[in-house]
Amino acid sequence: MHFDQLRLIRSPNIVPVSYRQLMARFGNARAALEALPDLIRRGGGKRVVLANEAAIAREFQFVQAFGARYVFIGDADYPYLLSHLDNAPPVICVKGNLELLACPAVALVGARNASAGACQFARQLAFELGQMGLSVVSGLARGIDTAAHAGSIESGTVAVIAGGIDVVYPPENRALQHAIAERGLLIAEQPPGTEPRARHFPYRNRIIAGVSAGTVVIEAAPKSGSLITARLAADAGLEVMAIPGSPLDPRSRGCNQLIREGATLVQNASEIAELISPLDNRILAPPVKWEPSIAVIADDSSHTERSAVIDRMGMTYVSVDELVRQSGSSPSTVQMVLLEFELAGKLERGAGGKVRLAT
Amino acid sequence: MHFDQLRLIRSPNIVPVSYRQLMARFGNARAALEALPDLIRRGGGKRVVLANEAAIAREFQFVQAFGARYVFIGDADYPYLLSHLDNAPPVICVKGNLELLACPAVALVGARNASAGACQFARQLAFELGQMGLSVVSGLARGIDTAAHAGSIESGTVAVIAGGIDVVYPPENRALQHAIAERGLLIAEQPPGTEPRARHFPYRNRIIAGVSAGTVVIEAAPKSGSLITARLAADAGLEVMAIPGSPLDPRSRGCNQLIREGATLVQNASEIAELISPLDNRILAPPVKWEPSIAVIADDSSHTERSAVIDRMGMTYVSVDELVRQSGSSPSTVQMVLLEFELAGKLERGAGGKVRLAT
């Protein structure tokens, strides 16, 4: 079963949303894989390529030999909060103690070039949060992330990395990354061997925010990845907190801006724990089984229906609701047409679930 | 007319609330003065003493000779926002340019022992707010207040002092106080000659907050007068803003706490002006005439009604609503009984309009 799931996930043009839609439509990964060629053809795809079975087998072997394992969405030990993201990763690769995400977790994120004072503060904060029984989540980057992991290595630290589970980054954190895999928890979404690229970091950030009941930002530039993480947390209905700073210190601008946008100003571990604890029950409750059928899609689509939707798409992003209105088709039919089109590599999804023709 | 008003204000046991109630009940100060002996006797007062007429005449002469003047609530040039406070001062003594309160004003307040950096910041902020056409209001204390006045002395600065209009405090601000009276606006509520005492500062703070469309706090200790000013502004429905600081700096605690309680985090003059400008029209609109009859009080009270209210009062504060419920009398009768009792010196008013027997 997991073999089929990973093969489906690694097949071309499968993203978290299309994985979810296929699982909802076909019930399991094998049925989805069998239907895939038809769907791709209906979407106008010329070449039908599924992930190579031997490669999938090698990937499982490598991960096992590396001492890591896969956790699929829908598995009992898949992080409960994470499964609630619209674009929750269909699979994560984990090495270490997954139990750390069975306790309430708080993300500490911030600038790579943070001041020494802020790094010391982050380390102490992570230590105190750990003493309060919270797991500390961060991204293993330089600066604040490193300090957060260092402060919570004894109590329970979770690092989400942008590349593959076996790829060390940044190089100076080699020893820390190994220590976290041994004593904490290391999480990767990209396949083994993947070198982290700029485009991977927003994906990593959504996992940092998504596994944590709350995200705390310490010293961040106004347009930094830390602020993206914070906004992802807010979008997912999770708690967003920020450590304030003097307007005379340019490094405070991102955090102060977040507070102006509605993040809660926090000054110490108790103020953070106060905002996290009400979620305990939600996290500690026996997880409800993951239900992929949130996006209702039609059983099939006719040529006429496909044309009605596709004729209304162009190079600019449009919302699915707008396509439903303009095409006169049902929402489930429009979703099916878009899925087929996406699997054929002809669709791009943007912010807010908007879609356009692939360039 | 102003003579009678000042005589009423300076008579024993007259506070802003009782002044307003008397004006509402009797229409003008002369009628209220004539009724006062009866009211005091009904409240059980033994000695009926009104303010000495010769002393009132001397006070007017002194203020005029000093180059100041009185502005009474209800006068066309009484500060419009201030008149909306429940406990608006019945009269203020002003020296300088009262027109400064016809433009939108912003209060800058903070710690007397603020850091040099914060004082420099306050001075620059006051300067920039002045350049944007805002008057800057503060309390002429050491530290942040002094910096705020210094930064806005050219553009328009308003100082509210705790003692009499002719009393310099603190001594090192003698030159600044004189400069403000000449080039800005100096406001005092206490009679000339009054040395500022601890109990006067909360009264001064309510005027600072009350004449300003918004109050900005810069570096304040958690239980400081600046925070009281901010809470008075919030209670009056005015904008409260605070400059954040690092949790590592103990001087930031008051401001960070205020932000946690709902004050808006601001970092510079533009962010302040943005919150103030929507009020422009409210301030610049032709003022509605002050209407004292907000608190409805009965024409008269019977002995039975008085006993029903007074028997239910003790040494602990009780709300007027509670007295109405327990006594079975109408709200206006209860207000009248309380007014008579207050004029007789037998009633104390506390926070939230609660009352108790005078000790």
What is the tens place of the pLDDT at every residue in B212-243? Answer: 999 999 999 888 888 888 988 898 888 999 99
Instruction: State how far residue B257 is from chain A, nearest Cα, in angstroms.
Output: 9
A355 or B286, which is more confident?
A355
Instruction: State how far residue B271 is from chain A, nearest Cα, in angstroms.
Output: 10
pLDDT at B328: 85
Q: Do A264 and B267 touch (CB under 8 A)?
A: no
pLDDT at B286: 46
Which stretches in chain A have pLDDT values below 70? 1, 277-296, 299
Is residue B197 over pLDDT 60? Answer: yes
Rounded to the nearest integer, the mean pLDDT of chain B is 91
pLDDT at B290: 66
pLDDT at A288: 53
Three-state DSSP state, B161: strand
pLDDT at A359: 75
Residues contacting residue A175 through CB under 8 Å, at least 6 positions apart: none
Is residue B285 over pLDDT 60? Answer: no
pLDDT at A93: 98
d(CA B7, CA B56): 6
Q: Do B244 and A244 touch (CB under 8 A)?
A: yes
- Mean pLDDT check: name the lowest of A309-313, B80-84, B172-176: A309-313
For testing the chain A interface, which of B265, B270, B271, B274 should be mutated: the one with the most A CBs within 10 Å? B265
Extract the tokens encoding A67.
Answer: 């001492």
pLDDT at A283: 52
CB A227 within 8 A of CB A203: no
Report the alpha-carbon angle B112-B114-B116, nearest 5. 130
Number of Cβ within 10 Å of residue A199's Cβ equals 8
pLDDT at B48: 83
Rounded to the nearest integer, the mean pLDDT of chain A is 91
pLDDT at B350: 83
Identify the CA nearest to B158 among candidates B99, B203, B91: B99
Burial A249-268 (b: 16+ CB within 10 A, else e): eebbbbbbbbbbeebbbbbe
pLDDT at A286: 46
CB A210 within 8 A of CB A187: no
Is residue B280 over pLDDT 70? Answer: no
CB B98 within 8 A of CB B86: no
- Mean pLDDT check: name the lowest of A299-303, B83-87, B301-305: A299-303
DSSP 8-state code for residue B27? S
Picking from A117, A248, A253, the nearest residue to B121 by CB comes out as: A248
Reported as type and span, the H/E element at residue B106 is strand B105-110
A219, closest residue in chain B (CA to CA): B246
Picking from B248, B265, B268, the nearest residue to A117 by CB comes out as: B248
Q: Where are any strands of DSSP class E within chain A?
A: 69-72, 91-96, 105-110, 135-138, 157-161, 185-188, 214-218, 239-242, 264-265, 347-349, 355-357
Instruction: State how far residue B259 is from chain A, nearest Cα, in angstroms.
Output: 7
d(CA A259, CA A256): 5
Average pLDDT over residues B263-284: 80
Amino acid making up residue A260: R
Average pLDDT over residues B61-66: 97
Extract the tokens encoding A205.
Answer: 């950030």
Contacts of B253 in chain A (CB under 8 A): 267
d(CA B51, CA B178): 30
pLDDT at B260: 96
Where residue B277 falls among pLDDT bands split at 50, 70, 90?
A: low
pLDDT at B333: 87
